[in-house]
Structure 1
Amino acid sequence: MSGPPVREGPTGTGRGAITPDGCAVELYARLSAGSEPEVIGPVLRPGASVLELGCGAGRVTHPLVELGFAVTGVDESAQMLERVRGARTVRSPIETLDLGEERFDAVVPGSFLVRTGDHRLREGLLGTCRRYVKADGLVLIQREGPGCHSGLPREREDHAAGCTIRILSAEPVGDGVDEVRAEYVFEDARWTQTFRSRELTVERFEAYPEEAGLAVDRCPTPDGVRVLARPGQIRGNSDRGLAGR
Structure 2
Amino acid sequence: MRQGYEGTGPGAITPDGCAVELYERLPVGDEPEVIERAVPAGASLLELGCGTGRMTRPLLRRGFTVTAVDESAEMLERVRGARTVRSSIEALRLDERFDVVLLASFLVHGEPPVRRALLDTCRRHVEDDGCVLIQREPHDAHDNVPRERNIPGGVVRILSSDPVAPGVDEVRAEYVFADARWTQTFRSCPLDKEQFETSLREAGLGVETYLTEDGTWVRARPAGGRTCP
Superposition TM-score, scaled by structure 2 size: 0.95
- Match for 2:113 among 120, 140, 149? 120
Once the two structures are TM-superposed, the CA of residue 129 in structure 1 deviates from its matched residue by 0.3
- Match for 2:77 among 82, 86, 103? 82
- Letter of the aligned partner of 2:99 in structure 1? D
Q: Deviations over 1:88-135 (max 9, x none)?
A: 0000010110111x1101000130011012x22111100000010011
Once the two structures are TM-superposed, the CA of residue 145 in structure 1 deviates from its matched residue by 4.2
Task: Write out aligned runs for 1:176-187 (5 A).
Answer: 176-187=167-178
Aligned: 1:69 with 2:60: no
Corresponding residue number in structure 1 for 2:200: 209
Aligned with 1:46: secondary structure? coil
Aligned: 1:191 with 2:185: no
Corresponding residue number in structure 1 for 2:29: 34
Give yes or no for contact 1:179–1:197 (8 Å, CA) kept in 2: yes
Corresponding residue number in structure 2 for 1:50: 45
- Most deviating of 82-91 and 37-46: 37-46
1: CA distance between counterparts of 2:79 and 2:144? 35
Corresponding residue number in structure 2 for 1:104: 98
Aligned with 1:196: secondary structure? strand
1: CA distance between counterparts of 2:41 and 2:167? 41
2: CA distance between counterparts of 1:206 and 1:8? 27
- Letter of the aligned partner of 1:109 in structure 2? L
Aligned with 2:45: secondary structure? strand
Corresponding residue number in structure 1 for 2:86: 91
Q: Deviations over 1:184-221 (max 9, x none)?
A: 11121111000000111111011111110001111112
Q: Deviations over 1:15-67 (max 9, x none)?
A: 00001110000101111111100100111212110000000000111110111
Aligned with 2:90: secondary structure? helix
- Most deviating of 201-210 and 216-225: 216-225
- Match for 2:4 among 9, 12, 15? 9
Aligned with 1:120: secondary structure? helix
Once the two structures are TM-superposed, the CA of residue 144 in structure 1 deviates from its matched residue by 1.6
Once the two structures are TM-superposed, the CA of residue 168 in structure 1 deviates from its matched residue by 0.2
- Letter of the aligned partner of 1:154 in structure 2? R
Give yes or no for contact 1:18–1:24 (8 Å, CA) kept in 2: yes
- Letter of the aligned partner of 1:47 in structure 2? G
Count of matched residue pairs: 226
Corresponding residue number in structure 2 for 1:228: 219
Corresponding residue number in structure 2 for 1:129: 122
Superposition TM-score, scaled by structure 1 size: 0.89
- Letter of the aligned partner of 1:95 in structure 2? E
- Match for 2:131 among 131, 134, 138? 138
1: CA distance between counterparts of 2:65 and 2:149? 32
Aligned-residue RMSD, C-alpha: 1.5
Q: Which runs of 5+ in 2 are unaligned?
A: none
Q: Which runs of 5+ in 1 are unaligned?
A: 1-5, 235-245
